[in-house]
Amino acid sequence: RAYNFNAGPAALPLEVLKQAQEEFVDFAGAGMSIMEMSHRSAIYEQVHNDAQALLRELFGIPSNYKVLFLQGGASTQFAMIPMNLLTPDKVAAFVMTGSWADKAIKEAKLFGQTAVAASSAADKFNRIPDLSDLQIPDNAAYLHVTSNETIEGTQYSAFPETGDVTLIADMSSDILSRPVDVSKFGMIYAGAQKNLGPSGVTVVIVREDLIEQSPKSIATMLRYDTHASNNSLYNTPPSFSVYLMGLMLKWVQERGGVAATEQYNRDKTKLIYDTIDQSGGFYRGFADPSSRSLMNITFRIQTEELENQFAKESEQHGFIGLKGHRSVGGLRASTYNAVTLESCKALAEFMQDFQKRNG
Ligand code: PLP
């Protein structure tokens, strides 16, 4: 298999793919694939409820939160959040950390007032801003953070204390990569296609009192209470994606859970960050060391020509997805949960060898 460092959709564990392959044509002896079954059948409902229960257990989700399986990606949440939670007398506050925070702000602006509580724009988004100096308006409906900026490769090492203000996090690119105190958040959401499984399902973890706030005037499908009161079965769910997410969650559980996963991720990324730091300046990490991501390692080489050569040669050696996002350039290795230590070791060795040949 390729050394898959794609940013998303991203690598899935081989064990998960093999199990899905085995069960693909005939699921649980039903004589049909899970994707051919009614979403109202007992077999599918079990798959759906088991995935929910396992996510609750692994991520330590308190009982006063609902776990929703929605569609439309994290991008739809950029709109659903203000539609459901922002009223005309309130302001949606954001920590502006880069490309994804920017998209979330732009979308919220379509629905009401917004404010930037802190920004690292002056540092070209190479770090998470100083959280001790957040300017949260008194009438903030919520503070929105992007826990991991996938494109810039920065990640919060701790989340802000917001007092009475509801904290909402886009965890699309680092959910389940490390333990999180869910009770600090009013809502956490994530597209599944990086750490949770394939694309097609978006996980929303939302505190019950927030669900009750949905105004009655918004479209049925875009209201949290519609999905909460129907166990995310109001309409046809992305059943195959939910099934695969369930397999992925079992895989995380079998490997010791989220804390063990974090340690594995730290071991993996250390190999690559150490290679950057010990390269004498040949490789330059983009993110400030205080804000380095365990999920997306962004780095540069002295010239664009060498970066292009790196991208090309790395592909010839079986490494996929190392070109940086088109908006920022450079190189990026995405090291989500399913990316193996062996892949990271191979990449570190390739980087060292590339430097020897071109340094
Ligand atoms: N937020 C973050 C942090 C992301 O990395 C992404 C996708 O890459 C998104 C949001 C958008 O997710 P989706 O494609 O599921 O809408």
The answer as to whether 2 is a domain residue is no
pLDDT score at 332: 98
Closest C-alpha to ligand 1, atom 4? 172
In this predicted model, what pLDDT tens digit does every residue of 6-47 receive, in sequence order?
999 999 999 999 999 999 999 999 999 999 999 999 999 999
- Write out the two tokens for 49: 């409820």
pLDDT averaged over the chain? 97
User: Do the beta carbons of residue 50 and residue 175 sit within 8 Å?
Assistant: no
User: Do the beta carbons of residue 188 and residue 171 sit within 8 Å?
Assistant: yes
The answer as to whether 8 is a domain residue is no
Closest C-alpha to ligand 1, atom 2? 172
Q: How far apart are alpha carbons 43 and 152 in whole angstroms?
A: 42
Whether residue 296 sits in one domain with residue 218 = no
Answer yes or no: is the C-beta of 150 below 6 A from any ligand 1 atom: yes
Ligand 1 atom closest to the Cα of residue 150 is 5
The answer as to whether 7 is a domain residue is no
Residue 236 counted as an annotated binding residue: yes
- The H or E element spanning position 114 is strand 113-119
The answer as to whether 4 is a domain residue is no
Q: How far apart are alpha carbons 180 and 170 in whole angstroms?
A: 13
Look up the CATH number of the domain holding residue 141.
3.40.640.10
CB burial readout 65-86, b (16+ within 10 A) else e: bbbbbbbebbbbbbbbbbbbbb
Residue 235 counted as an annotated binding residue: yes
170 is catalytic: yes
Whether residue 72 sits in one domain with residue 128 = yes
Q: Tell which residue, 229, 253, 254, 233, has the closest CA to residue 242.
A: 233
Q: Is the pLDDT of residue 133 over 90?
A: no
100 is catalytic: yes
Whether residue 51 sits in one domain with residue 172 = yes
Parent domain of 340? 256-358
Q: Is 0.80 topped by the overall pTM?
A: yes
Residue 310: count of CB within 10 angstroms of its CB? 24
CA distances for 336 relative to 4, 83, 154, 166, 303, angstroms: 10, 31, 14, 28, 27
Q: How far apart are alpha carbons 203 and 221 in whole angstroms?
A: 15
Whether residue 330 sits in one domain with residue 198 = no
Q: What is the DSSP letter of 324?
A: P
Length of the chain: 359
Whether residue 262 sits in one domain with residue 246 = no
In this predicted model, what pLDDT tens digit does every residue of 152-180 receive, in sequence order?
999 999 999 999 999 999 999 999 999 99
Whether residue 224 sits in one domain with residue 102 = yes
The answer as to whether 5 is a domain residue is no
Q: Which of 227, 254, 281 is the last residue of a domain?
A: 254
SS (H, E, C) 251-299: HHHHCCHHHHHHHHHHHHHHHHHHHHHCCCCCEEECCCHHHECCCEEEE
pLDDT score at 54: 98
Answer yes or no: is the C-beta of 191 below 6 A from any ligand 1 atom: yes
Residue 146 pLDDT level (bands cut at 50, 70, 90): very high
Ligand 1 atom closest to the Cα of residue 149 is 3
Answer yes or no: is the C-beta of 358 below 6 A from any ligand 1 atom: no
Whether residue 320 sits in one domain with residue 208 = no
- Report how many domains make up the chain: 2
pLDDT score at 305: 96
Q: Which of 223, 254, 285 is the last residue of a domain?
A: 254
Whether residue 333 sits in one domain with residue 212 = no
In this predicted model, what pLDDT tens digit does every residue of 233-265 receive, in sequence order?
999 999 999 999 999 999 999 999 999 999 999
Whether residue 36 sits in one domain with residue 63 = yes
Answer yes or no: is the C-beta of 173 below 6 A from any ligand 1 atom: yes
Whether residue 241 sits in one domain with residue 185 = yes
Determine the residue type at 4. Answer: N
Q: Which of 235, 254, 273 is the last residue of a domain?
A: 254
pLDDT score at 328: 86
Answer yes or no: is the C-beta of 114 below 6 A from any ligand 1 atom: no
Residue 209: count of CB within 10 angstroms of its CB? 10
Whether residue 155 sits in one domain with residue 78 = yes
Whether residue 281 sits in one domain with residue 239 = no
Which residues have a Cβ under 8 Å from the Cβ of 305 and sit 6 or more positions away?
A: none
Look up the CATH number of the domain holding residue 351.
3.90.1150.10
